[in-house]
Chains A and B, each alone.
Chain A
Amino acid sequence: MLDELTEKFERFVRNLKGQGKLSEANVRDTVREVRRILLEADVSLPAAKSFIDAVTTKALGQQVLTSITPGQQMVKVIYDELAQFLGGASEPVRFGKSPSPILLVGLNGVGKTTTTAKLALYLRKKGRKPLMAAGDVRRPAAAEQLEILGKQLGIPVVRGESSPIKIFEKGYEFARREGLDCILVDTAGRQHIDDELMQELSELQAFVKPPETLLVVDGMTGQDAVKSAQAFSARLEITGLILTKLDGDARGGAALSVRYITGKPIKFIGVGEKTADLEAFHPDRLAGRILGMGDIVGLVEKAQSVVDAEAAEKAAKKLLKREFTLEDFKEQIIQLKKMGPLDSLLAMIPGMKGAMKGIKIDEREMKVVVAIIDSMTPQERRSPRIIDGSRRKRIARGSGTSVQQINRLLNQFEQMQKMMKRFGKRGAPPLGLPRMPF
């Protein structure tokens, strides 16, 4: 996410380093560069202008500090301002009297239906009892899509009426009867210049009176983000924003634009195609990412949410005592895979982005390792030493691999154990993992 923007800032920080003083010309050159970076990142012109004005004022009024270099100082000013622009602390979803409605609106194709399901899952994890209402009666199969997603997640869906208002009424009754406490209403995507549809939407909002109306914005949007955000907030009371498709390489400048226009908090970001791929938005982290500081907090949180802490600790102890078996090793790979695609995971680590450029993490290799281990007998997994030539042949056949691949895995596993043993003896925790066999 925001990779390219981060990369550019990194380069630009390097240019600034080694400057003696924070001169006026210095600031001017810097902000010109910042303007270019922002525009290339799809930040809209008015938002970029406003941001640059703020940065210039701040930087020029500032005392030159002796403790840090002018470059660092400039970066700090930009970082602080960026974080402020992106919003204050992350804000939770607003609820009213139960069942509390949440309206999701936006242009066609931004990802409203998928996001409705993601948000419902997110809220259920937080202890809510959500209902989804298929209020998109226009797009073919939109209701079917929501129903299928609902079935997958075990979240009820109401559908089948001729208008969004009727569907909401049906949902309201259903939620009260079943004791559900919030109703997420998916709506039809529309071009914001379509008066008739915008009217329909504003009537829906007037009828539903939701404490939360979320504008869903495609993270890859260009300059048009300003116009659509303006149009939606002119016709509707928007209370928050969700940015989608930020798992690609889009620079995501639209975040700044929609914040600037609506002044509403970005509450969530969509970071993948799976229904669990919705994250609470943290402006400070996003600003940190933009400046190349990485998103370590995000990484740790992600790990905590999917990895069984107890199992991980047990594995770590075994590792140090050299009781770590191929069975445990497989467990580790599965835990790692649960955290999501490896490349997006590594991108969260500071400094990794540059280093990872062009390196492909082959997740199929991980699958191959799991297949090999699965083709072993329990005894073989516990003591790999007994795996002789004929066993190797059998495992290769069973896992659809070659004996060479089995050899490589066993060699690497053995080296890993040796290294672990050394660490264990010294009593120090291992600094980073040894080279994995993939």
Chain B
Amino acid sequence: MILFERFKAGLARTREATLDKLRNLLGLSRWDAAEYEQLEEILISADIGYDTTQQLLKTLMETAGANEIGANLSPGERLRLELNRLLDGDGASPHRFSAAPWVILLVGVNGSGKTTTVGKLAYYFFQQGKRSAVAAADTFRAAAIEQLEVWAGRGRARVIRQAQGADPAAVVFDAYNSVKARGEDVLIVDTAGRLQAKQNLMEELAKIRRVLNRLDASAPHEALLVLDATTGQNGLSQAAGFLRSASITGLIVTKLDGTARGGIVVPIRRQLELPIAFIGLGEAVDDLQPFDAKVYVDALLAI
């Protein structure tokens, strides 16, 4: 599987020693304190976070003693099952396209890869025979619209734009009406990067939502947080912040082609119950793939 290979390639290039340690650990039939300690380090190094790591360790230690069925499995297998259980039910939400246009709002902090993801997402729909248009609602960053036009072109999507500095909500309003008139299937809204702690900027997102809501009571049909896989524990605060102000429905994790494992999605899934819709694995337009928990966990553990 392509995803699996690329994801693994990143890990393989980090350090063979770490990888050997991990393989060795997962192959053991029984773990003692030293092994659990090793596992703690591995999980923390993957950005799964201190609390979630402790929770996982506790679960594993408990099932090791009590559970008869669990006792038949090696600790590595139980870890795999537990991680799968934590991330279960994920994957690309079925794009039902029950409304026309189907509206997707993309949000995230600066530099997480929103504009790139717009192009990849449009291309994903293009391959399914759907026509996309993009609203250039990042009117703040210099040359953001020019960058978007290149990526939208790669994704075969039309761009609806206004000048830099225009009101993002007004751009979205025009874009919706234009897409509606032309009968295109999907409207993807690219927004300016913003840190979740910035109150006024977060209110701007709420305004975009309100405008869409007036045009179609069910829009936006999806609101996805674009999250950089190198993000540490702040990812949880990002997800919580964007959930509050933009009512996000899921995540897109980008830059998983590096060495970062993106483990922060585990606590995000656990605490906020937000599913992961897609993962981004490179700079080519077809590098976006629906999330698969099983494949992700295997790659995470380098199985």
Contact = CB atoms under 8 A, between A and B. Distances in A.
Interface string B259-301: 1110110000000000000000000000000000000000000
A283 interface: no
Interface in A178-230: 191-193, 218, 220-225, 227-228
B143 A191 contact: no
A238 interface: no
A224 B44 CA distance: 11
B233 A222 contact: yes
A254 B140 CA distance: 27
Interface string A243-256: 00101111101100
A414 interface: no
Interface in B136-172: 140-144, 146-147, 149-151, 164
A29 interface: no
A222 B109 contact: no
B233 A248 contact: no
A39 B50 contact: yes
Interface stretch (B57-65, B66-74, B95-103, B193-201): B193-201
Contacts of A36: 50
A144 B112 contact: no
B230 A249 contact: no
B41 A45 contact: yes
Contact of B44 (A39, A139, A220, A343): A39
B111 A111 contact: yes
Instruction: Tell me the interface secondary structure of chain B in the complex.
Output: loop
Contacts of A139: 147
B110 interface: yes
B142 A222 contact: no
B213 interface: no
Interface of B: 9-10, 13-14, 41, 44-47, 49-51, 109-113, 140-144, 146-147, 149-151, 164, 195-200, 228-235, 237, 255, 257-261, 263-264
Given A149-B142, A224-B47, A227-B14, A107 B230 contact: yes
Contacts of B140: 273
B265 to A, nearest CB: 12
Interface in A237-281: 245, 247-251, 253-254, 273
28 contacts: A36-B50, A42-B234, A107-B230, A107-B258, A108-B113, A109-B111, A109-B255, A141-B143, A141-B146, A144-B142, A144-B143, A144-B146, A145-B141, A147-B143, A148-B142, A191-B10, A191-B255, A193-B257, A220-B109, A222-B260, A223-B46, A223-B260, A224-B261, A247-B195, A249-B234, A253-B232, A254-B232, A363-B200
Interface size class of A (residues with CB under 8 A): 35 or more
A398 to B, nearest CB: 23
- Across the A-B interface, the 8 shortest Cβ-Cβ residue pairs: A222-B232, A109-B111, A42-B232, A140-B150, A248-B195, A145-B143, A141-B146, A148-B142
Instruction: Tell me the interface secondary structure of chain A in the complex.
Output: loop
Nearest to B42: A45
A109 B234 CA distance: 16
Contact of B234 (A152, A225, A251): A251
Contacts of B164: 148
Q: Which of B147, B195, B200, B237 has the most C-beta atoms of chain A within 10 angstroms of its own C-beta?
A: B195
Contact of B45 (A109, A223, A363): A223
Given A145-B147, A222-B47, A250 B142 contact: no
Contacts of A224: 47, 229-230, 258-261
